Amino acid sequence: MRKTMASLFSSVRGGMIASVIFTVSLSPAAFSSEIRVMCTQALKGMMAKLGPQYERDTGDKLLITYGPTAQLLTHINKNESVDVIIVVSQALADLAKSGKVMESGRTDIARSGIGVAIRRGEPRPDITTVDAFKKTLLAAKSIAYTNPADGGASAVYFAELLKKLGIAEQLRPKTKFAPAGTSSGTLVASGEAELAVQFISELLLVPGVEIVGPLPPEIQSYIVISAGVSKEAADPKAAGRLVRFLSSPAVAPVLPEAGLEPPK
């Protein structure tokens, strides 16, 4: 029996998600590839929700390596094997220019903003305005974020933001950097830090914390995350199939649960 892509990916989180609107006709026998994916941590929650269903519906196996974009770029530039690359949009554009990613099919998937998290059950501080946010940071006993030296986009932005707000030196003694490859939320969950600042999509992955909210609009920073097929993909058709799915309407209902928004 033949299926269309529109009939696939229909059941996620116990409910129905929008069907895929592109209609490339494929037979079940065609779905049998291993797809090696390098994916920014900002999409880990989304991929955890959608990946298993995608594998069941297609028969493809997703082999996903997560990390900060800068860390993934190091692996990619060493020519490590990868079929699909999902990173910050500008980084993917640079990879396309350098000939490591196919220009055709490169597409935006989602965007993520930076937020603040606290240990579950603790009093929620006020971060609704820039002034309130500054006061909350100055009053906090400790603040966790990832080390800017590791290349995480949220950490690099936040470190610069503290300088612009004029409080970087005041916060330095109570700053705690999360170990490379981990979320700053883990320091809050363990009680080692009072506040965590990172992309909301990454903070949501940490048990024991709750999101206070996003940064005030005036100082918010978003990253747009894009996906593309590697020029060295072992099975370009299978890789392209995954990229098309990730940019389809089927993904939209899952974005809010993963702390993400549609790309703009």
Bridge partners (DSSP) of residue 198 are 115
Per-residue pLDDT of the chain (264 residues; tens, 9 = 90+): 334 343 444 444 444 333 332 333 344 444 579 999 999 989 999 999 999 999 999 999 999 999 888 889 999 999 999 999 999 999 999 999 999 999 998 999 999 999 999 999 999 999 999 999 999 999 999 999 999 988 788 999 999 999 999 999 999 999 999 987 788 999 999 999 999 999 999 999 999 999 999 999 999 999 999 999 999 999 999 999 999 999 999 899 999 999 999 997
Please give the domain boundaries of the chain with CATH numbers for all domains: 3-111+224-258 (3.40.190.10), 113-219 (3.40.190.10)
Q: What is the pLDDT of residue 204?
A: 94
Identify the burial level of 69 via C-beta atoms within 10 angstroms of its C-beta, where 0-12 means exposed, 13-18 middle and 19 or more buried.
buried
In 3D space, the residue among 187, 201, 121 whose CA is nearest the CA of residue 154 turns out to be 201
